[in-house]
Structure 1
Amino acid sequence: MDNNMKQLIENMQQSGGGHILYCFNELETYIENEATFIIAGVEQGDNILVVENDRIFPFVQKKLQLHLNEEQLKKVNLINNFDFYCFHGDFHPSTLVHYFLENIDSYSKQNQLVRTWGHVEWGQEDQASVAIGEYEKGIDKLITERGLISVCAYDDLRVPETLKADLIKHHEILITDEKITILNNR
């Protein structure tokens, strides 16, 4: 998937950005794709805002260190996904969209381009599916307005079918461990 991921990102950059839904099953494939996304972005001069958990990011970091120098690694900015998605103690869509905007605006103010990778996780709360759908709708609008390239990653086993259907409505591309599908939602 490495080359397909790189080609997808290049195409999205030329077309003014895009919103990618990544539903993964295999952790090693996920880590490889996350690292590929980050490396491709840094090599093209962008900053990368990564929202990831503390269990996975060290594995991604090892792959990054094999391909990026110290200066390039400074372009990769990590926020713990629990801290990000539970910023005010719960998964509240409007608060999260505003927090996302604050984070990407810090780059815009410095005339720097940014790409985002967000691994969305939540507790066992049943209402989370509705909140996640609302969050993705708000983020999709921002991504489109700003011309960003943004990946929203979900562990496929944790995503109920109703939520997956909602997520598909708010993304242009669906990636799984095996393939890339253009959704034509624009």
Structure 2
Amino acid sequence: MCKNKMNQLFEDQKSVHVLYSYNESENYIKQIVSYIQDGILSGDCIILIENDRLYPLIHNELKTLLTTDQMKMIHRINNFDFYYSSGSYHPPAIHDYFNKTVQPYLEK
């Protein structure tokens, strides 16, 4: 999906769960950093569901682009913990876990 279509989706929906499939981690990191930066600059809170291998690379890149206060708007969840919170990949459990995770941010 091109960036303009993604941005339109986010404007229309406001709260979107994105599963981004990729073949090259370098391109993925560039895309996710751009997406997060655009969201933060728009005043959005970001919940990033990412693995332990890629998150440090994403985090380090974001630190060069965002202020300390902007970095506080990014909340990371380990993808394994998120998708297997019930012990197996079970969509209703994932949905419940997501709602519990997001609720404190919605209240703020």
Instruction: Report the TM-score range of the alignment, normalised by the length of the smaller protein.
Output: 0.7 to 0.9
The structural deviation recorded for 1:12 is 2.6
CA distance in structure 2 between the partners assigned to 1:31 and 1:48 by the alignment: 15
CA distance in structure 2 between the partners assigned to 1:19 and 1:87 by the alignment: 17
The structural deviation recorded for 1:101 is 1.3
Structure 2 counterpart of 1:92: 90
The structural deviation recorded for 1:21 is 4.5
Q: How many residues align?
A: 107
Partner amino acid for 1:97? Answer: H
C-alpha distance 13-89 of structure 1, shift in aligned 2 (>3 A) = closer
CA distance in structure 2 between the partners assigned to 1:19 and 1:91 by the alignment: 16
CA distance in structure 1 between the partners assigned to 2:27 and 2:92 by the alignment: 32
Sequence identity, in percent? 34
Bigger Rg over Cα? 1
Structure 2 counterpart of 1:73: 71
The structural deviation recorded for 1:41 is 0.6
Find the residue that maps to 2:30 and give its secondary structure.
helix
5+ long unaligned stretches in structure 2: none
Structure 2 counterpart of 1:46: 44
CA distance in structure 2 between the partners assigned to 1:65 and 1:56 by the alignment: 15
Structure 1 counterpart of 2:12: 15
Larger RCO (CA within 8 A; separation ≥ 6): 1
Q: CA RMSD in A?
A: 2.0
* Among 39, 52, 55, the residue aligned to 1:57: 55
Partner amino acid for 1:38? Answer: I
C-alpha distance 109-69 of structure 1, shift in aligned 2 (>3 A) = same
CA distance in structure 2 between the partners assigned to 1:12 and 1:43 by the alignment: 17
Which is richer in helix? 2
CA distance in structure 2 between the partners assigned to 1:27 and 1:57 by the alignment: 11
Partner amino acid for 1:105? Answer: Q
Which is richer in strand? 1
CA deviation profile, 1:129-184 (whole Å, cap 9, x unmatched): xxxxxxxxxxxxxxxxxxxxxxxxxxxxxxxxxxxxxxxxxxxxxxxxxxxxxxxx
Structure 2 counterpart of 1:102: 100
The structural deviation recorded for 1:13 is 3.8
CA distance in structure 1 between the partners assigned to 2:104 and 2:36 by the alignment: 19
- TM-score, structure 1 as length reference: 0.52
Structure 1 moving runs of 4+ over 6 Å: none
Partner amino acid for 1:44? Answer: S
The structural deviation recorded for 1:33 is 0.8
- TM-score, structure 2 as length reference: 0.86
